[in-house]
Structure 1
Amino acid sequence: MTDWSLGSYERTAAELEPVSRLVVERAGIAPGDRVLDVACGTGNAALKAAERGAQVTGVDLAERLVRVAAARAQAAGLDARFLVGDAQDLPVEDASADAVLSVFGVMFAPDARRAAAEIVRVLAPGGRALVTAWVRSGALAEVSAATARAQAALSPEDPDGPPPPGRTATDWSDAPTVAGLFAGHPVTVTLSEEGLAFRAPSPDAWVREQAEHHPVWLGARQRLGEERFAALAREMVEILLAHNEDPAGLQVTSRYTIATITRD
């Protein structure tokens, strides 16, 4: 399981802010709404909801990221509270949220059904949850898959073990899968697809940035060792080159879904 306190995830979080902005807009967050940001990271969605006058709580397992989110709220003069907690056992009361948001967060929960049940539990009747997840195709999906393969090769005797960092246990971008996670709950589920462009001066520069700062690739680097990670880095660069949309630098567009779960 990835340790999201490693490195400087806030650098990646800054690149993901457009997604949080879109999710908050799609959720129709209004003044007075009770909003819960699950696996909030550095608080992107939570803070954008607070800017709209919502009553906001953010929850994340990574204590360092919770501190970062709280400091960002204080610096911006926004009223939001942040708690250390698990998406599979949320530290909030039943029916206490008008809106639940999770931007590339709950998708990493090891027990997806339990996390889905928690979303339903905390939603008030008529409430809505918006959950984003990366589509499992495209440049960054292939980079993540390569990272998973490299780490899985270290333990070939355990093919049924938990997925290594870089790959999620459940595909939250797949409509039938998400519908199955919420089957039996009093909710309606719909999915839409969007895209987010990642840019860097070059594929090599992007890989170096991830290796030095991103929790997934820092964890992979530690686990693989420098020689194996160097081979992985070369494979990552080749994947990015194959998908590059900007010959003068690097641009790759990652597709993602927004699942909207509406409580009856």
Structure 2
Amino acid sequence: MTRIDWGKGTYESTAADLLPAARELVDAARIKPGEHVVDVGAGTGNVALVAADLGARVTAVEPAARLREVIQESAGARDLTVVDGTAAELPLADASADVILSNFAVIFAPDPRAAIAEFARVATSRVLLTSWLPGPMDKVVGVLAGAVREITGSGEAMEGQIDWHDPAVLAELFGQHGFELTATVKDLAMTAASPEDYWETRLANHPLGVATLPLLEQAGRLTDVRTRVIDAIGNWTTPSGQVSIPSQYLLATATR
């Protein structure tokens, strides 16, 4: 399986798409001023910055060095600390956070059960996360992922992975640590100026694209895959020529 360096490429474009979900996540957490909020897989800091603006004391945990710099540059005078770490190895003491948030991040954890156990170790009251539901984007990403599997002979679901979008699965795993889970489905449209623009700004320059497109190019498959992906994206072209891909995600809240 291709390893993704989330600091490569321009994740900033994708982060901008996910900002509405970050705001929904923070709003659902009902953060009070002075609470310690931990944003796991903070990316460019969408969640961390919004939470800090509510008066929270925020720790942004992000493994990619470049993205940590992006967050730090945006932090300003906010009460926001940026640290290196992963979902399964949080550099924080037991019961040191009131809230843990993760916006489309912990879903990439290599060991989901270890990540949930770590969240339970650090969080005293609640954990909130977002995860994608199956939908139109699967068709788009599926073209790319399928071609990579054909080339590498790998890419199947790894042992130990879970369906992060399934409330029953999350309820069982969080329940093992004394949490009760509630969940709701939210809508989020992924937009771009055109199908070609979506390819360039959201796929080719996304950390996943940076990791996988060279493999396709070396195999002589890149042009074909690009054409197929753009054709698939074209199914959601609006009359104005823009792209608006309807997507849904799960917002899960675990409390104890």
TM-score, normalised by the number of residues in structure 1: 0.89
Q: Is the 8 A contact 2:145 2:155 kept in 1?
A: no
Instruction: State the shift of 1:212 in Å.
Output: 4.1
Aligned to 1:30: 32
**Structure 2 residues not aligned, in runs of 5+:** none
Post-superposition CA distance 1:91-118 (Å, at most 9, x none): 1011111111000110000100111111
Q: Is the 8 A contact 1:96 1:123 kept in 2?
A: yes
Aligned to 1:155: 152
* Alignment partner of 1:233 is 2:231: no
3-state SS of paired residue (1:154): helix
Alignment of 1:37-76 (within 5 A): 37-74=39-76
Q: Is the 8 A contact 1:211 1:221 kept in 2?
A: no
* Alignment partner of 1:90 is 2:109: no
3-state SS of paired residue (2:92): coil
Do the aligned partners of residues 44 and 161 (structure 1) sit closer, same or farther apart at CA in structure 2, a change above 3 Å counting? closer
**Structure 1 residues not aligned, in runs of 5+:** none
Aligned to 1:115: 115
Distance in 2 (CA, whole Å) between partners of 1:255 and 1:161 is: 21
Name the % identity.
37
Distance in 2 (CA, whole Å) between partners of 1:146 and 1:212 is: 13
Instruction: State the shift of 1:159 in Å.
Output: 6.8
3-state SS of paired residue (2:215): helix
Distance in 2 (CA, whole Å) between partners of 1:228 and 1:162 is: 25
Do the aligned partners of residues 85 and 154 (structure 1) sit closer, same or farther apart at CA in structure 2, a change above 3 Å counting? same
Distance in 2 (CA, whole Å) between partners of 1:31 and 1:51 is: 9
TM-score, normalised by the number of residues in structure 2: 0.92
Distance in 1 (CA, whole Å) between partners of 2:237 and 2:250 is: 21
Instruction: State the shift of 1:220 in Å.
Output: 1.6
Alignment of 1:164-183 (within 5 A): 169-183=161-175
Q: Is the 8 A contact 1:27 1:130 kept in 2?
A: yes
Q: Is the 8 A contact 1:108 1:169 kept in 2?
A: no
* Alignment partner of 1:254 is 2:247: yes
Distance in 2 (CA, whole Å) between partners of 1:210 and 1:200 is: 9
* Alignment partner of 1:132 is 2:130: yes
Do the aligned partners of residues 245 and 190 (structure 1) sit closer, same or farther apart at CA in structure 2, a change above 3 Å counting? farther
Instruction: State the shift of 1:213 in Å.
Output: 2.1
Q: Is the 8 A contact 2:148 2:155 kept in 1?
A: no
Figure out how many residues of one structure are paired with residues of the other and give that number: 252
